C-alpha cells in the first residue's frame, strides 16, 4: 500500500567507470515506484521544487507522507 521514491542528487557520468553506478540504479529500480535523479529533472536538493516534483510523481499530497 505504500509508494516509495528514491530521490538523489547526482550528475551525468560520462567517465569510463559509469557502468557500475548504472548497474546499481538498474538493481534499485525494482525496489522503488519512482527514482528521481537531480541531473535528469533539473533540480537538486534542497530546492523545495524537487520535493514538490517528487510528490507529483508519487501522486500523493504532503500530508500523506
Average model confidence (pLDDT) across the chain:
86
Structure-block grid coordinates of residue 36 = 528521481
Q: Are 50 and 36 in contact (CB under 8 A)?
A: yes
Cα dihedral 34, 22, 51, 58 in deg (nearest 10): 0
Q: How confident is the model at residue 4 (pLDDT cuts 50, 70, 90)?
A: very high
Query: Mean of the pLDDT values across residues 38-64?
Result: 92
Q: How many CA atoms lie within 13 A of 64 on its CB side?
A: 12
Q: 3-class DSSP state for residue 27?
A: helix
For the stretch 33-47, pLDDT in tens is: 999 989 889 998 889
pLDDT at 14: 67
Amino acid at each position: 500500500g505504500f509508494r516509495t521514491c528514491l530521490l538523489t542528487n547526482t550528475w551525468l557520468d560520462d567517465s569510463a567507470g559509469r557502468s557500475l553506478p548504472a548497474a546499481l540504479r538498474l538493481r534499485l529500480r525494482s525496489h522503488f515506484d519512482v527514482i528521481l535523479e537531480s541531473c535528469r529533472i533539473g533540480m537538486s536538493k534542497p530546492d523545495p521544487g524537487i520535493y514538490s516534483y517528487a510528490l507529483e510523481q508519487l501522486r500523493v499530497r504532503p500530508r500523506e507522507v
